[in-house]
Structures are given as structure tokens and as C-alpha cells.
Chain A
Amino acid sequence: MLRALIIGGGTMARTHAEIYSRLPTAAVVGVVDPDARGRRLAADLQVSFSESLSGVDWNAVDVAHVCVPTPWHRKLVVEIAKQRKHILCEKPIARTLADAEEMIAACEQSDVRLMIGHCVRYFPEYMRAKELVDAGRIGRVAVARLFRGGSFPPSDTWRDWYANRNWSGGTSVDLMVHDFDFLRWVLGPVARVYAKSTYGESNRLELTLATLRFQSGAIAHVTGSWAHAGFGTRFELAGNLGLLEHDSFKAGAVFHEATALPAHEDMQGVQVPRTHVHKSPYQLEIEDFLHAIVQDRPFSVTAHDALEALRIGLAVEQSALTGMPVDL
């Protein structure tokens, strides 16, 4: 039995924790969170609760999930690494490259494995797209178009941290980093980026449009929006032999019109995509994390991949701020 510690009590912490109820050989043993949300999560799971890492019985823990706002990633990952526990940390890996590098170094030093939750790699439509491109079905990719967006994360998250770009990194670092990781996975390294954003727009609206040029010559256009409604994703990959397209707004296998808000009150934070498959992408991600540890094989998405995705996100942010293309 693998024993997991959940750090955090918000939407992603609850999403990770709930996956464990479906895993026969692993269980959540505790929740750590300075916030009342974490206390409620621990009560719901009937596991131990502690307000800080100092209250954790590390002998009873095998792995830790870091599901807290991005600016806390470095501090927590470095502390957990000292306890020699493997870590699944939510994306983006960190707000800065320095933080990310320190996290990776701390884990390497303690011989601890660090995976970053780039869950899009476990979404079936993105996995299928990767398989189709690798199989040569659309030939050489020429232009990719990706959309990821919805409404601005609500203000009752921890200190409204998404609204503070110094903490969250905004659309380019928090949201589009999924697409940057996916594109890098499929199309290889990025040569340069150019972007425009509505940074500074009041009324909780942020929209970033980024153009990526890959070393291969391929071009990608990525929309990251907290200025739309609901949540959804789209992609189109156009190659010299064919084209792939997917629209999450049209891919629902069952439709439900909500007339009330049935979700748990602590899960009305950031939007979590729903996928109608037996195993959710988050379950696939957590299973992959746990299996890789047990079987001592590499993670499908490494901390280095996450660092590179962050590097693209930061370059996009820099381009949007300076108005100039940024070379990577």
C-alpha cells in the first residue's frame, strides 16, 4: 500500500485526493494545509490533518502531492525532498526558472523523484493527437492552433492568487503552459515566441495570444483566455498530409444543463476539465506517477519537461510585456 500525503485543500488537492478512492493499492493518509479548506478535506477523507509539514509523521508517508498555489511550490518541494519522499507537484513547476531549478536540484540531491502535473499529457484527445502525429498520419506539421480558456478563476481562492501575476504567472504561465508542454512534446524545441496580452486589464479579464516558432520550422498559435465563459479547449494540427482537429465544447458524450451548483463548495475554484472516460486524466496521471515509482521507471513527463514548458511560458510573458519576439 502506497501512502500519500496531500498538501493543499483547494480544487486540485481535492481532485488528486478523490482519485485515491479508486486506487486499490494506494491511499491518502493525511492532508497538510494552513487553510480551513484542507481541514475540511481531511475530515471528508477521514485522514489526519496538520497545518504545516512539521506536524507530519513522515514514517507513515511514501509520496506527497503538492497542490498549492505556485509561489509555494519551491519551499514545499525542497522541504519534502529533505524527508526523502517522492513528489507529484501541480503545474506550473514554479513561477521562476530559479525556483524550478532549485526544486529539481533538491530532489536530485536527496535522490527523490519529482513529477509535475502536466495533466494534458493524460487527456485522451491530446494523447491520441500525439500518437497520430508520431504515426505520420498528417505528415509534417505546418501550423498548429490551440485554444484553452474560460472564465477567470474566482476571487475566493487563496488570497485571489490567480489575479496576482507575480504569483500565478497569469494565462501564459498558469494556463497556456499546458499547451506549451504539449506542443513541445509533439513538435520539439521552440526557437522563438511572440505574444500579446491584455495584462493589466481590470474586471478579471486576461487574454494572451502567442505565436511559437519551432526549431523544426513549424508554427503554432496558442490562445490562453480568462476572458471567456465556462471552460474548454480546442486544437487543430495541420500537416502536409492531413489535419487533426478537436473541440472539447463538442466532444461531450453526455450533456447536462445545471440549474443549481452541485459541486463541493471547495471545488468552485479554478475550472477542472471533465472528460467522459472511465479513467479520468487525473487518475491516469496519478497511476503513472505511482507505477513509475514502484517499477522504478522514468516518468512520462519529467521535471525537466516542466522546466522547459515554464521557460516557454516566461518567454511568452516577456514578449507580451516588451512587444518584441523572444528567442529561446
Chain B
Amino acid sequence: MTRIGILSTAHMHAHSYMSAIETLQDVSVTGVYDEDAGRGRQFCAAHGVPFRGDMEALLDESDAVLIAATNADHRGFVERAAARGVAILCEKPIATSVADAAAMVQAAESAGAPFYMALPVRFVRAAAELRKFVRAGKIGRILAMTGTNHGYMPGGWFIDRAASGGGAVMDHTSHVADLMRWIVGSDVVEVYAEIAERVHNRGIDDCGILTLGFANGVFATLDPSWSRLKTYPTWGDVTLEVVGTTGVLALDAFAPRVHVYAEAEDGQATHRYDYYGDDMDLWMVDEFVRSVRSGQRSDTLATGLDGLRALEVTMAAYESAESGRPVAITPWQP
């Protein structure tokens, strides 16, 4: 039996991770700690798991933890979990500064605690197949990529800079930056970004275009905008087009969908996408549990260091938008 604790439910993905755990065999939830006890108790009532007011006691009884805290709180939770040697799966982005991320990676490293990032797009079957095709040379040598991770404006603490560290660029750069690195097998060394607040008027960046240069000469753009409104048929997207010397591969992660045309309760005509593809969170949590159970490090899950690399891109983007110049990344070295 693999014992899993949940640290914080500030991020809505806590529900999705919990649902994933509920479908897995031989996994028990040791409990949920939440810095907001009311929110934590509500979560526990919804999922039938115990609320734990004492985080250290919870860590004592757990083999692994899922951290679904605000971005700014990730460091504290990761350091405490690492100190107890438990395996960690932390919500993205890793932190709100590269210094925090580096401290987290080092803490896990020195404690020997496996430290993974919740970057589940790697577990979209189509993304893995795209990577396989690229690696098999189906499109020749990669020239360039264009990616998007559009979304709704999530509201709540996501638009509170102290808790989130930034808006759309902080929220939506990690997934596709990680996917691109995973596919090209090279690190981002330069970032130029145009960033703006033009969609929601909430005092935080909500749209932008990032241009990334990779060490191997490939370049790419990434659109992390919260540019989907409630009238759009779905919450957002994850897309990636890879242009090579002998072909093009295009991923639309949420393309498996049924179009639903129906009346809303107020009689308004609606058109929604109903996604029926794989639950990427489920396959990611499954891989995490397998690695904890076997004691073997996963070679598919994104590591804390992968999360740090994605955050380096995010922070360079903000710096570039501020300065109006391309920003060179000096990769943090352990």
C-alpha cells in the first residue's frame, strides 16, 4: 500500500489529483493538510479523506505527497516534505523565483527525496507520440516550433501577485516550455517577450507572446494568454506545431472532443467542447505512484530541475518584457 498525503488544496488541481488517486489500486490517502483549515475540511468532506492539522505527523505516515499550494507556498511545502525524505509531486510552476526553485531542487537532492513537477502534458498520449515521431526522424531536423496554452482567466489567488508571482505568463508558460524542451532535448538560452494586460483589467498580465531560442539553434514561440472568455466553447488549449526539414507535426492535445450544442438553463444557445481524451492527470499520478512503489526514479515525469528550467523561461520573459530586449538565460547549475 502506497501512502499519499496532500499538502494544501489551494490549487483546483487538488481535486483532479484526488480523483486520480481514487481510481488507483493499493493507494491510501493518509490525509490532507491545508493552511486554510476550512477549505481543507471541505475538500476532505467531498472526498471522504481525513483532514490533518499537524503536517509533520502527516509526513511521518506518508511515502509521498502531492502539493497543490499557491505558487509562492511551494517552496515551504517542498522543503518540509524533502526534509522527511518523502517523494514529492508539486503543482507547477515550481516557484515564483529561480532562487526559490534552486533551493527546492537542492533541498530534495541533499535529502535524497524524489522531487517531480506536475507537468502532465507529457502524459497526453498524442504528445508522447509526437515526441516519438520527432525522435524517429519523421520530420527530419527540427527548425522551429509554435505553441499555445490559452485559457480562461482563473481568478482567485492566481491574480494575486503575492501568491502567484505573476499572471498568464507565470501560469501558462511552464507546460509548453517543458513540452518543447522534452521534445527538442535542448535548453532555452534566450527569451524575448511582449506581455500585456488587455483582456481582463485585473491588475496583472493576461496575455503575451514569448519567443524562445534553444541551445541547439531551434527557435519557438509560445502564447500563454488568458484569452478565452466564457463564450468560448472550452477552457483553453494546449497546442504545439513542430516544423522540420521534411515535414510538420502538429499536436492539439484537446482535439478529441464532441461538440455540444444545447440550451443553457436560462434558455441561451450554447456550444461547448466535451473532451473525451485521456485524463492526463490520472496517467501522471499513476506514474508517480508506480515510481514511489518501485523505488525507481521515473524517466517520464518532469523533475524539479525541469520545473526550474521552465521557470527560468518564465522569469526571462518578464525581464525581457520589462527591458524591451532579448534576455539570455544562464542556466542555474546545481
Contact = CB atoms under 8 A, between A and B. Distances in A.
Contacts of B245: 201, 203, 205
B243 A243 contact: no
B62 interface: no
Interface string B244-271: 0100100000000000000000000000
B209 A323 contact: no
Given A203-B245, A228-B248, A142 B225 contact: yes
A209 B225 contact: no
A324 B323 CA distance: 12
14 contacts: A143-B208, A145-B223, A195-B211, A205-B245, A207-B243, A211-B192, A221-B223, A223-B146, A227-B143, A238-B150, A240-B200, A241-B229, A325-B324, A325-B326
B221 A143 contact: no
A211 B143 contact: no
A227 B199 CA distance: 33
B128 interface: no
Interface residues of A, number: 36
Contacts of B225: 142-143, 238
A217 interface: yes
Q: Number of contact residues on B: which range applies? A: 20 to 34
B198 A217 contact: yes
A25 B146 CA distance: 47
B229 A219 contact: no
Contact of B243 (A217, A219, A228, A325): A228
Nearest 9 pairs between A and B by C-beta? A238-B227, A142-B198, A196-B219, A142-B199, A211-B209, A221-B209, A143-B207, A142-B207, A219-B194
A242 interface: yes
A258 B130 CA distance: 28
A238 B144 contact: no
Nearest to A319: B192
Contacts of B232: 243
Q: Which of A221, A239, A242 has the most CB of B within 10 A?
A: A221
A225 B324 contact: no
Contact of A227 (B192, B220, B243, B324): B243
A218 B144 contact: no
Contact of A218 (B198, B223, B229, B324): B198
A143 B208 CA distance: 7
B213 interface: yes
Contact of A325 (B192, B208, B228, B248): B192
A8 to B, nearest CB: 31
Interface in A216-266: 217-221, 223, 225, 227-229, 238-243
Given A143-B227, A198-B144, A217 B196 contact: yes
A211 B211 contact: yes
Given A142-B196, A142-B227, A219-B207, A209 B248 contact: no
Contact of A194 (B143, B146, B211): B211
Given A143-B207, A145-B148, A219-B208, 14 more contacts: A143-B227, A198-B143, A219-B198, A221-B146, A221-B221, A229-B248, A238-B150, A238-B228, A242-B229, A242-B231, A243-B227, A243-B228, A325-B192, A325-B325
Interface in A180-206: 192, 194-196, 198, 201, 203, 205
A140 B144 contact: no
Contacts of B200: 240
Contacts of A3: none
B144 to A, nearest CB: 5
B281 interface: no
A238 B326 contact: no
B207 A238 contact: yes
B206 interface: yes
Contact of B221 (A142, A209, A229): A209
A84 interface: no
A289 B324 CA distance: 41
Contacts of B146: 209, 221, 223
Nearest to B217: A198
A165 interface: no
A304 interface: no
A207 B227 contact: no
A249 to B, nearest CB: 11
Interface string B298-334: 0000000000000000000000000011100000000
A286 B207 CA distance: 39
A213 B194 contact: yes
A140 B208 CA distance: 15
Contact of A324 (B144, B206, B229, B326): B326
- The CB with the most chain B CB atoms within 10 A, among A196, A205, A223, A323, is that of A196
Interface string B176-207: 00000000000000001010101111000011
Contacts of A140: 198
A196 B209 contact: no
A213 B324 CA distance: 11
A240 B199 contact: yes
B198 A211 contact: no
A91 to B, nearest CB: 24
A118 B62 CA distance: 65
* Best-buried of B144, B200, B225 by chain A (most CB within 10 Å): B144
Contacts of A194: 192, 194, 211, 326
Contacts of A209: 144, 146, 211, 219-221
Contacts of B213: 196
A227 B324 CA distance: 29
A143 B151 CA distance: 13
B231 A219 contact: no
Contacts of A227: 143, 243, 248
Contacts of A195: 211
B227 A201 contact: no
A196 B208 contact: no
